[in-house]
Structure 1
Amino acid sequence: MNFLSSVFRFLFAIVFLGFLCLSNFNQVLYAQTTSSADLSSLISEIEIKGTSDLESSQILFLIESQVGEPLSRKAVRRDIHSIYQMKLFEDVQAEVKLQDFEESGAKGYLLRFVVKERPRLSEVKLVGVMLVERTEIEEKMTLVKYDPFDQEKIAVNEQIILEYYRSEGYSGVRVKSKVEAVESSLEAEGKKFRVVFEMEEKPRVYLSDIYISGTKFYSELDIKRYILSSEIDCVAWANQSGLFREEMINQDLSLITQHYLKNGFIKVFIEKPDVTLIHNPDYSRVDVRLNITEGDQYYSGKISVSGDILGEKEKLMEGLLLEEGEIYNPFLQNRDRSGISEIYHERGYAFVRVVPETKVHKETKTVDVTYRILKGEKAYIGRLEIAGNIETRDHVIRREFELQEEELFNGKKLRLSQENLNRLGFFQSGVILERSPRDQEDNLLDIMARLKEAQTGTFQAQVGYSDFSGFSGGVTLSKGNLLGSGRILRLSAQFAEQSVQQKFDITLIDPRLFDSQVSGSIFAS
C-alpha cells in the first residue's frame, strides 16, 4: 500500500506541476481588461429557462454570446439557431432586459433564452422481427427510449432497418413506423409518445444467374471479372454468397461502364437490367440480364493546350498522361486537367480553370483533346481560420501552416499544410482545408481548417512474477497534446517485490521548441 500511495502521489505531483507550467493566464488578463470597460452595452448575465432534462451549462457552452461581451443581435440569432439545431426543443426564444447595478452605477444586459422541450419517447418497439436478430437491429438504430420526439430521426431509422434487412439478403422486406400517444398519470411528466416499427418480412432473395448479351470485344466471363455481385453456389447457406442486393447491381453497372471507358469505348451503353423474380417457399431467386452495346474503340488523336500558357508550351505538355496514338481514356484526361491546375496553383493562380475540349472523329476512331487554360488573377491569402479545436491551442495549429496571411497563394504549400496537420496525430483523419474567396475581393482567399480532435492519451500496465524478484510490474501513462500545447508527457513507474529500489521516469517532449523546427525534451528519473 505504501508503494502504491507513493506512485499516485508522484503522478499527481507531476501532472499538477505540468499544469501550472503550461497554463496561460488569458482569462485573468481578460477579466482585468473588461472590469474597467463600459458595461452599458455588455452582457451582464445569461439565463436558460425551460429545461428539465438538460443542464444549462450544455447550452451555455454551445452559444456564441458570452458574459462580459457586447450584445449582438446577429450573435443572438445564431445562438437561437444553434440551440434549435440540438433537436431537443420545439421552440427557442430570446429575451433581453437592461439591468442596473446600484453599487457600481453600471448597466448591463440580461440575456435569457426561453426553450420548450420536445416530448420524450417512452418506448421504441420492434414488431414482426422473426428472420433476423432483434439485437442486431437495435445496435444499428440511432433512436432509443427517452430520446426527444423527432419525426425526421424516425424516418432515418426506418431506412436504417430497411438497409440492414437488405444487407442480409431480405430485399423484399417492408418497414413501416407509427407514433402512438402514451397517457401518463403524472402531469409533471408531460406528453409522451411511443414509436412502433412494424416489419413485413419476406424470405431471402438469391442471385441465381447473371446473363450478359450484346458484347463483341469482351466475353461474358471478362465482364463478370469486374463486377461485385456473385451467383449462388453450393456454400451460399454458410457464407451468404449469392445474396441479391439491388444496390450492388447498380455498382456493377458503374464498374462495367468504367471498364469500357478506360479502354476507349466512349459510346458504351448498358440497358436497364432485366430482373426476373422467382418465388419459392423457403427463399426467392433472381435472374439478371444485362444487354450491353459496346460501340467502337477510340484512340487519342491530337493533344494540345491553349489559352493562358505560362512558359513553354512543350514543357507544359511533357507531364500529360494522355498520349497521341494510345487508347483514349477520359479518366487520364481528368488527371491531366488536375495536373495542369496544380502547376498554376503553385504559381498563385488559385482560380484557374482548365477546360478539356474534345473533338470526336468517327471515321478515324480518334478523339482530339485541347486543354483550354483560363488562369484568372493571382490570389493572396486572406484569413487563416480554425474550426473544431476544443483543447488544442490555435498557435499549435497555425504553426503547421506553410502559408501565411497576405502571402501569394500556393497550392503545394496548402497541400503540405494539410499533411502537417494530419501528421500531428491530434486530430481524427481527414483534416480539411477549405478555400473560400472574399466577397467583393476576388484576389483574396480565406483558408478554413476544419478538424475534429482525437483521443491522445494512452495507459499501459503490466504485472509479472518470478522466483527471483517476486511480483513485479509497471505503469506507463502517455498524453499527447498536453493541455493543448502540442507537447507530449510520458510517466512510467516500475517496481519489484524483492527490490528496495523502485524506478520512476518522466519525459516531457516539445516537438516544436519555441515554435521552431527544433524539438526538445526533458527527462528525469
Structure 2
Amino acid sequence: MKNQFKRIRARTVSGMIAAAFAVNAWAVDPFTVRDIRVEGLQRVEPGTVFASLPFRVGDQYNDEKGSAAIRALFGLGLFKDVRLEVSGDVLVVIVEERPTVADVDFAGAREFDKDTLRKALRDSGIAEGRPYDQALADRAEQELRRQYINRSLYGAEVVTTVTPMERNRVNLTFTITEGEPARIRDIRIVGNHAFSEGTLKGLFDLDTGGWLSWYTKSDRYSRSKLNADLESLRSYYLNRGYLEFRIDSTQVAISPNKQDITITVNVTEGERFVVSGVKLEGNYLGKEDDFKTLVKIRPGESYNAEQVTETTKAFTDYFGSFGYAFANVEARPEIDRSRNLVAFTLVADPSRRAYVRRVNIAGNNRTRDEVVRREFRQFESSWYDGDKIKLSRDRIDRLGFFKDINIETADVPGAPDQVDLNVTVAEKPTGSLTLSAGFSSAEKLGLGFGIKQENAFGSGQYLSAEVNTSKYNRTIALTSVDPYFTQDGVSRTIDIYHRSSKPYEQQGGNYELATTGLGLRFGVPFSELDTVYFGATVERTQLKPGTNIPAAYLAYAESVGYTSYGVPLTVGWTRDDRDSAIAPTTGRLQRVSGELGLIADARYGRASYQYQQYIPLNKQYTLAINGELGLGKAIGGHLYPVFKNFYSGGLGSVRGFEQGTLGPRDVTGASIGGTKKITLNAELFVPFPGAGNDRTLRLFGFVDAGNVYGDNEKIDFSLMRVATGVGVSWISPIGPLRLAIAQPVRKFAGDRIQRLQFQIGTSF
C-alpha cells in the first residue's frame, strides 16, 4: 500500500463493547497528531466533537485514546455511528448523526390532553429538537402505557409511526387505542369482626361506582389511592383500641379481558386494648408539670394511636420552643395481653440546645428574598424555636405564591450548638387573566373580565383590574395592595371604583344608583390571626331618575340633591383561622366593619358583624353556623343615605325568598332595604351520593332566618322569615357554585317566594 491507511470503527448496535473491540482489531502505532478533521456533521457543532476528544493537535495518539474518544462521542447520544480513520499523522473523525425529532403528535388520545402526554415523553427523552433513537421510542411507549394504567386503562395499546423528513429529521406519531377503563367490581375485606365490612369500605375513597362515577372516577383503580385507603383503614382500627391490628396482604386481581378489578384486603384485628396508665421518664428540663398538661393519652380509655402521636409531637414541639432542636421523645408501650391493657412510658431526651445560625432560601427564582424572609418569625442568631418555625412556614404558605414549601434543619459542621434552616420553595403562577360569564336566578347573565397579579414583579404586592356586568350590578374597579407598606407589616390598599346598581325589583323600574369612589385603607396586624383595618373613602353618588323610583329615594334626593358626596371613615377587624376560604371544614371567621360619615352630604354611621363557625363532625360531615348583624343610623338630624341600606333575601342570606326583597317596601311595592339587619344560617354538609369523600361536591341541608327593618322599626324576631331546604355546593372550574331548593317555613302576605335559586361565586 502506497499510504498506510487504517480504520477504527464502532456501531451503535454493539455500543461500548464494539468500540473497545474495534480498537484492538485495528491497532495502530502511536503517533503525534498533526491535524484532526471531522466529517458527517449536519446540525451538531464541530466544537462539540472536539471538546469530547481526549486529545488535541500535537498530542500523542494511541489505541487507548482512540477507544476513549469513541466512548465519549457515543456518550453524547448524538450519533448512531462513529469511525476513526488514520491517514499518516492526520486523524479523521467520521460520524453519522442520529435523526432529530421534528414533531411529536398523538392520535386517538382522549383521556389525556396532548400537552400532558408531551410532558411525559419529554421526561423519557423524546421531544422536538432532540435526537431520535429506537430505544427512546420503546421507552416512550412504555411511559405512555404507564400513564394509561394509572387511569385504569389496562387495555391501552400504543403504536409508534416514524416518518422520515428532509435534513435527517423524523416525525413521530403515537397512535393510541385506549379501550375501556377497568373498573372496580368488588372490594372485599377479610378477617374483620369488630366492624362491619360496609363500615370499613365506607372509609375508602375507592368504591365500586355509582351514578356519579363519571365525575369522581372513584371506581378507577389507583395504587396511590388504595394505599391512602389502607392507611385510613389502619388508622380507624388503631384509633379504636386495636393496638396489634395489621393488614396481612392485599390482592388486586384483574379479569382476563382487563375490564374488571377485584380488591381483597386481608386483616388481623387483634384484641382491643385499654390504656392503664401513662408515666414520664427522662429529662424534662424541670417542667414535668407543663409537659403533663400536653398529654393527650387518657388512662381508662381505649388505646388511640392518634393521641399517642399528638402527645409525642406536642412534647417535641414544646422542647423546640426552648431551643432543643434535636429532642427525642419515645412512647414505649408495656402490653398486658392477659388483661388487654397497655401502659405508656414517655421517655424524653432533649439532647442539646441550638441556635439558628442562618436562614437560607432557595427556589424563589422570581420572588424576592425579602418577600419570604419578612414572613419569618424565627430570627437568625437566636434560640431555635419550633413554634416560630411552624408559624413562619404557615405565613409563607398563606402568601399564595408557592405550591410547595419545605423547611429543613441542617447541622453546622464543627458547631454542635448551631443549626441552619434551609427553606426551599416551589413557585407557582400568581398572575391571571380571566374572561368569565355567570348566570344567576336574580341577576340573569353577567359578563366579567379581570386581570390580577398577586406577586407583581416578585415584590409581593397585589394589583388587579376588574370589570363585571349584570342586569342589576355593574362594576369597574382597580385595586392595589402593598402588604408591607411599612416594615412592621402594615398593609396599604388603594381602591378606585365605579359601581352602578338597580335594587332587585321585578316591576320594570329603570332608576339607577351610580357610585364612584376612591378609597385608602391600612391594615395593622395585632396578632397572627387578628388584623385591624382603618381608612377613608371619597364617594360621589348619583341617583338617576326613572320609572317606579321609590319615595324614600326621592325624599333623600330632595334633601341633599340627586348628586351627593360622602367621605366615610372605615374601620374593621378580622380574625380568620379557617382551614380554607373556599371549602372550609373547621375553624372560625369573625369580621367587624364600620363606616362613619361626618362631613360632606352623607352623615351616617354603619356597622356590621359576621360570625362563622365550622364544626367537623367526622371525616364526611361538617356543621356550619353563620350569623350577621347590621345597623345603620343617621347623624346630626340628617336623613340616612338610602343607598347604604341593608338588603336581605336570597342566596347569601335567607333562601326561599327573592333576592333582596325582605324588609320595608315603598308605596309602589319596591323593596328599599333597611337600616337594621339580622341573618342566621345553619348548614349540614354531607357527601354527594356517588362522590365518596370528595369535598368539592357536597350536599347540604339548611335552615335560614332573618329580616331587614326600617329606621323607625325595632328588631322584632316574630317578623323574621324562616326557610329550610337542601342544596348542592360545587367547587367548579369557574368558581364556587351553589344551588338551593328552599321551602319558606314562616312567611307573610306580600312576600315574594322563589324556591329554586342558584348562583356562581356565592359564599354561605
Contact 1:482 1:489 in 2 (8 A): yes
Q: Secondary structure at the match of 2:389?
A: helix
CA distance, structure 2, for counterparts of residue 244 and residue 302 of structure 1: 43
Is 1:434 equivalent to 2:411 in the alignment?
Answer: no
CA 1:224–1:417 in structure 2 vs 1: closer, same or farther (change >3 Å)? closer
Question: Where does residue 404 of structure 1 map in the other structure?
Answer: 379
**Deviation (angstroms), 1:307:** 1.0
Q: Does 1:380 align with 2:352?
A: no
Q: Which residue of 1 aligns with 2:234?
A: 257
Cα contact 2:252–2:261 (8 A) shared by 1: yes
Aligned match for 2:101, one of 105, 121, 126? 121
Please state how far the C-alpha of 1:269 moved relative to its aligned partner.
3.6
Gaps of 5+ in 2: 1-40, 46-74, 79-96, 437-446, 469-475, 497-517, 519-764
Distance 2:44 2:217 in 1: 45
* AA in 1 matched with 2:184: L
Residue 162 (structure 1) aligned to one of 145, 151, 161 = 145
Query: Which AA in structure 2 matches 1:419?
Result: D
Report the Cα offset of residue 313 of structure 1. 1.8
Q: Which residue of 1 aligns with 2:584?
A: none
8 Å CA contact retained: 2:151, 2:221: no
1:449 to 423, 431, 452: 423
Aligned to 1:146: 128
1:1-37 alpha-carbon deviations (Å, 9 max, x no partner): xxxxxxxxxxxxxxxxxxxxxxxxxxxxxxxxxxxxx
In 2: Cα distance, 1:481 partner to 1:156 partner: 40
| Secondary structure of the structure 1 residue equivalent to 2:332 | strand
**Rounded Cα–Cα distance in structure 2 between residues aligned with 1:134 and 1:520:** 46
- Which of 189, 193, 210 does residue 187 from structure 2 map onto? 210
**Residues 343-384 of structure 1: per-residue CA shift (max 9 Å, x gap):** 011111111111222221111212221121111111111112
| Aligned residues of 1:118 and 1:148 also touching (Cα < 8 A) | no
Distance in 2 between residues matched to 1:238 and 1:379, nearest whole Å: 51
1:137–1:164 CA contact under 8 A, matched in 2: no
* Residue 164 (structure 1) shift: 4.1
Q: Secondary structure at the match of 2:280?
A: strand
Q: Structure 1 residues 240, 292: closer, same or farther in 2, change over 3 A?
A: same
1:393 aligns with 2:393: no
2:100 counterpart letter in structure 1: R
2-side partners of 1:301 and 1:231: how far apart? Answer: 41
| Aligned partner (choices 324, 335, 338) of residue 299 of structure 2 | 324
Structure 1 228/461 Cα, relative in aligned 2: closer, same or farther at 3 Å?
Answer: closer
Structure richer in strand, relative to its length:
2
- 1:135-177 CA distance string (max 9 Å, x none): 64664341265152498986885565334433554335566x8
Structure 1 residues 197 and 367: alpha-carbon distance in aligned structure 2, compared to 1, 3 A threshold = farther
Distance 1:205 1:409, change over 3 A: closer
The residue number in structure 2 matching 1:342 is 317
Which stretch shows the higher mean deviation, 261-270 or 341-350? 261-270
Deviations 1:248-301 (A, max 9, x none): 555444433332222222222444345565546xx7434444443321111222
Q: Partner of 2:101: helix, strand, or coil?
A: strand
Aligned residues: 388
**Structure 2 counterpart of 1:442, one-letter code:** P
The answer to whether residue 198 in structure 2 is matched with residue 226 in structure 1 is no
User: With structure 1 as the length reference, what TM-score do the two structures score?
Assistant: 0.60
Please tell me the residue identity of whatever aligns with 2:191. Answer: G
Paired letter, 1:321: K
TM-score by length of 2: 0.43
Between structure 1 and structure 2, the one with the greater Rg is: 2
Amino acid at match of 2:412: R
* Paired residue type of 2:293: E
Q: 1:294 to 1:148 in 2, by over 3 A?
A: same
Alpha-carbon distance in structure 2 between the residues aligned to 1:271 and 1:119: 52
Secondary structure of the 1:343 match is helix
1:106 aligned residue: none
Contact 1:171 1:244 in 2 (8 A): no
**3-state DSSP of counterpart to 1:223:** helix
Contact kept in structure 1, 2:118 and 2:127, CA below 8 Å: no
Tell me how far 1:433 sits from its aligned partner.
Answer: 2.6
The residue number in structure 2 matching 1:362 is 337
Relative contact order: is structure 1 or structure 2 higher (C-alpha 8 Å, sep ≥ 6)? 1
Gaps of 5+ in 1: 1-49, 55-87, 92-116, 463-472, 495-503
Question: 1:5 corresponds to which residue?
Answer: none
Distance 2:393 2:379 in 1: 14
- Hey, what does 1:21 align to over in structure 2? none
Conserved? CA contact 1:89–1:118, under 8 Å: no
What is the distance in 2 between the residues matched to 1:122 and 1:264? 62
